[in-house]
Structure 1
Amino acid sequence: MTNIEILQSYIPMVDFIADICGPCYEVVLHDISKPDASVIAIRNNHITGRKIGSPMTDLALKILKQKDYVDKTFITNYDGYGDDGKVFLSSTYFIKNAQKELIGMICVNNDITDIKKFNNSYEIILERFKYREENNKDDKYEENIKNSLISVANSIISKTINSINIPPSRMSIDEKVKIVHELNKEGVFLLKGAINEVAEQLEISEATVYRYLNKKI
C-alpha cells in the first residue's frame, strides 16, 4: 500500500472515534507530507473551526522536528489550547508505514473548557470551607446530624463504647468508669435521657452511672 492509501484506510477510524466519544471530541487525521495543509479528515470541527486543508499545529511540527515518534506509538493526555481560550486534553496516535516511517497522525482533542470553568468555581466554593482557626489546629471536630436527642446520644455513646473494642459484658469496672467520663467530656449527659441510655448500653444501673461520674480517675 502507498502512504496515501494507508492514511485513507484510517478515515473510518476518525468517524469511529468521534461517534464513540461524542461532540466534545475533535478528531483529526493528518498527512505529514504536506504540513501547510495536513488535515485530510476531521470530525467535530466546530470545536476549533479547522477544516480539511488546514495546517499542522505547532506541536505536530515539533514532533516531526524532534522525531518524538521514533520510539513511541502515541502520546496521550497533554494540554492543548485554542485561539479562543478553549482548553483541550489532547492525544496523538502516530501512523507509520511498513518501513516504520511516520506518515500521518490521528489527533483527538477533548474540549474540557467547561470542565475547567466548573473546576475553578468548585475550588472557589471549597475555599469557603477550608478555614480553620489558627489557635485550634490541634482540635478535630466532627458532627453527626441527627433528628432526635436520643439519636444524638446513641451516636456518641456507641462511638465511645466501640472505641474500646470490647463488648460491655466483658468490660472491667475501670473501663466502664473511663467510658462514662469520656461521655461526660463529650457532653452526652447534657441530653435528656442520656443517663438511662448509657446505663442500658453499658449494662449497669442509672445509680451506677452517677457513681462512676463522681468517681475520680
Structure 2
Amino acid sequence: MDHALDAERDAILAAMTPVVDGIAATFGPVCEAVLHDYRDPERSVVAVAGSVTGRKVGGAMSEIGMRVLAGGDGAGDELNYVTRTRDGGLLKSSTMVLRDSTGAVFGALCVNLDIGAVGAAHRLLGALAGAAPVPAEVPTTTFGNDIDSVVDALVDAHRSQQRGSWAELDRAERLELFGGLDARGVFAVRGAVEQVAGRLGISRASAYSYLSQARAAHDTSGGSA
C-alpha cells in the first residue's frame, strides 16, 4: 500500500468537504452534495450536505458510483444527467470524479438537484400556452445507504427487461444479464457475486461461471469497459 498516495487522497477529500457544504448552501433545500471515497465502496459517503436522496455519512455508493468503478481510471465526469428516484422524484445530477496525482480515480463529488417542482411549473406553463407535453423515459436510480439494496435493485431492473424467471432464460439471455450487471459495475463490490447468486436462486459456482463466460464473450467481441 502506498501510504503517501493514501495521505494525498485523504488531503484531497478533506479539502473538498467545505465545498460540499458550500454547494448545498448556495442552491438551498432542493440541492444535495455528496462526497465519495471509492476506496471503501460499502461506506463510500464521507461528507453530505442537503437531503434530496437521503444519503448519510457512512452510506454506500449508488449504482452511478458502481459505473464509475467499472470505468476504472478511464472514467470521466457525468454532467447534467436526469434520473428518477424509486419513489418517483425527478433529479438533475452531476458526478465529478476525483483523481490523485497519478491520475487514478479514487472518489467523486456528486450534486443532486430536485427538479420535480421545476417540472411541475414547466408543465403548468406548457398547459397555459397550449403546448403538448413531451414524453420522456427517465431511468430510475437507486440511492441507498447500504450496498445490498443497490445491488438488489440493479438485479431486479435487469431481470425486468427479460422474459420469465431465471429457469426460463436461455444461455444467451443469462450471459446478457451477467454482462449487463458487470457493465454497471455491480461486481466491483465485494461479495456481489454471492449476493446476485442468492437473488437469482443459483449456486455461487454457477454465478462465477456465467460472469466468466460473459466477460470472455465481451472480450471476444472487442468491447471495452
The TM-score, its normalising length taken from structure 2, stands at 0.52
Provide the rounded CA distance (Å) in 1 between the counterparts of 2:131 and 2:66: 44
Give the share of equivalent positions with the same residue, in percent.
30
For residue 61 of structure 2, the aligned residue among 56, 78, 92 is: 56
Query: How far off is 1:128 after superposition?
Result: 7.3
Name the count of aligned residue pairs. 126
User: Match of 1:24?
Assistant: 30
List aligned pairs for 1:3-82, cutoff 5 A: 3-45=9-51, 47-67=52-72, 70=74, 72=76, 74-82=77-85
Query: How far off is 1:3 after superposition?
Result: 2.0
SS of residue paired to 2:87: coil
SS of residue paired to 2:74: coil
Provide the rounded CA distance (Å) in 1 between the counterparts of 2:27 and 2:121: 20
Is this contact kept in 1: 2:82–2:90, CA < 8 A?
Answer: yes
Which of structures 1 and 2 has the larger relative contact order (alpha carbons within 8 angstroms, sep 6+)? 2
Provide the rounded CA distance (Å) in 2 between the counterparts of 1:128 and 1:57: 36
The TM-score, its normalising length taken from structure 1, stands at 0.53
* 2:124 pairs with 1:118: no
Provide the rounded CA distance (Å) in 2 between the counterparts of 1:20 and 1:114: 18
User: Match of 1:158?
Assistant: none
1:71–1:103 Cα change, 3 Å:
closer
Gaps of 5+ in 1: 130-217
Gaps of 5+ in 2: 1-6, 133-225
SS of residue paired to 1:115: helix
Query: How far off is 1:71 after superposition?
Result: 6.4
Query: How far off is 1:36 after superposition?
Result: 1.4
List aligned pairs for 1:171-210, cutoff 5 A: none
Provide Cα deviations, 1:16-44, integer angstroms capped at 9, x if missing partner: 21122222110000011111111110001
Provide the rounded CA distance (Å) in 1 between the counterparts of 2:130 and 2:26: 37
Provide the rounded CA distance (Å) in 2 between the counterparts of 1:41 and 1:5: 14
* Runs ≥4 residues deviating over 4 A: none
Residue 94 of structure 2 aligns to which amino acid in structure 1? S
Provide Cα deviations, 1:155-196, integer angstroms capped at 9, x if missing partner: xxxxxxxxxxxxxxxxxxxxxxxxxxxxxxxxxxxxxxxxxx
1:116–1:66 Cα change, 3 Å:
same
User: Match of 2:197?
Assistant: none
Query: How far off is 1:82 after superposition?
Result: 1.7
SS of residue paired to 1:2: helix
Provide the rounded CA distance (Å) in 2 between the counterparts of 1:96 and 1:90: 20
Provide the rounded CA distance (Å) in 1 between the counterparts of 2:86 and 2:75: 31
Provide the rounded CA distance (Å) in 1 between the counterparts of 2:64 and 2:8: 26
Larger Rg: 1
Provide the rounded CA distance (Å) in 1 between the counterparts of 2:100 and 2:91: 29
